[in-house]
Amino acid sequence: MMDERLRRAAEVLSGAPEVALVCHVNPDPDALGSLLGLSAFLRARGVRTVGSFGNEPFELPRWVAALPGADVLVAPRDFPRSPEVVVTMDTASIDRLGNLNGPVARAREVVWIDHHASNPGLGTVPLIDPHAASTAEIVFRLMKAMGGEIPAGAAACLYAGMVTDTGRFQYQATTPETLRLAAELREVPFDHAALAQALFEDLSVGYLKVLATVLQRVELVPSAGLVWTYLLQADVAEGGIDMTETDEVIDVVRTAREADVAAVIKQQRDGRFKVSLRSRGGTDVAAIASAHGGGGHRLAAGFTSRVGLEETAARLVRDLEAARAPAPS
């Protein structure tokens, strides 16, 4: 069925003079790398492209400067209101489109590319493969189905998505197929060392100070198998950084051996709290996130809480304690 959907998506995109591309709010390199990679591929074929994500204010993450083709990105207000063909990237649910939900809903064709197991099968052409380690993997398979040369810029963007979403190819989702596709991308000439430096080794002193503050707040809850901390808007303001620069915090917290689940609770500009979850393997955090309107993978998921920090943490602890409780005999 996936091969059939790839062929259908290739037909839709091959016949479109213009394609609009979107990804989830607060995008990571897999989301934007997939978007920019497919954009570069389509532009090389003479297709007009425009891309965006539904954040207001519209601010690009610092690392985007390392990805070719970012000129395709426009603020949501400049995105087509009723595009004919839309491709969504790395978006597990409608709400993750933010304020671009309307244009996507009005599109004639929606090629929905995603690898989250919680995705219910969205879009007119759902390219959803929960076995893929990244959305970039699926985009690369789509390019191969369409045929033709892979531009260097497209290869760099897709490689960025793969290398970040697999934790530099160390996460459980990394398969032999993942490594084979990454090797194919590396056959295309681009500076992968400079790209890796921009993605993994480009932190500010302000970020390091914020990280120190966040790590001082770390709490271990043995009954829930949880280690967690939190990050406030005041923290990033004091450090002189943006919240988009703090994605790596969860990767530090998750290294604690005493807990199966790691969580970082971040205050958003609207006052709500975004909860990022990671599991070492014993807990399905996608199930926890889904219960709160979020989603993701079994080992990596998240949701946005509509209650305060203390209640958000308390509910998370209760949910994890319940998940660990033995089933009644």
Domain CATH number, residue 260: 3.10.310.30
> Within the chain, which residues score under 50 in pLDDT?
none
Residues 17 and 96 in one domain: yes
| Domain contains 83 | yes
Structure tokens at 156: 């760099």
Q: Given the DSSP bridges, would you call strands 48-53 and 300-305 parallel, antiparallel or unpaired?
A: unpaired
Strand partners, 301: 277, 296
In a domain, 329, yes or no: no
**Structural domain count, the chain:** 2
Verify that 269 and 318 share a domain, yes or no: yes
Together in a domain, 196 and 250: no
Under 8 Å between Cβ of 36 and 66: no
How high is the pLDDT of residue 257?
A: 96
Domain membership of residue 257 as a residue range: 205-324
pTM of the model: 0.86
Contacts of 311 (CB under 8 A, 6+ apart): 305
**Domain's final residue, options 200, 224, 255:** 200
Residue 65 included in any domain:
yes
Whether 89 maps to a domain, the answer reads yes
Query: Same structural domain for residues 74 and 186?
Result: yes
Same-domain check for residues 156 and 141: yes
Q: Verify that 139 and 218 share a domain, yes or no.
A: no
Residue 229 corresponds to which tokens in the numbers above? 């901390």
- Residue 72 included in any domain: yes
pLDDT at position 329: 58
Tell me what pLDDT residue 324 has: 86
**What CATH number does residue 41 fall under?**
3.90.1640.10
Q: Is residue 297 part of a domain?
A: yes
Predicted confidence at residue 319, as pLDDT, reads 95
Retrieve residue 147's tokens: 């045929």
Q: Which of 49, 281, 22 is nearest to 172 (CA)?
A: 281
* Contact call for residues 160 and 34 (beta carbons, < 8 A): no
> Is 150 found in the same domain as 6?
yes
The answer to whether residues 308 and 180 belong to one domain is: no
Considering the domain architecture, whether residues 148 and 219 belong to the same structural domain is answered as no
How many Å apart are CA 305 and CA 272, to the nearest integer?
Answer: 6
pLDDT of residue 243: 87
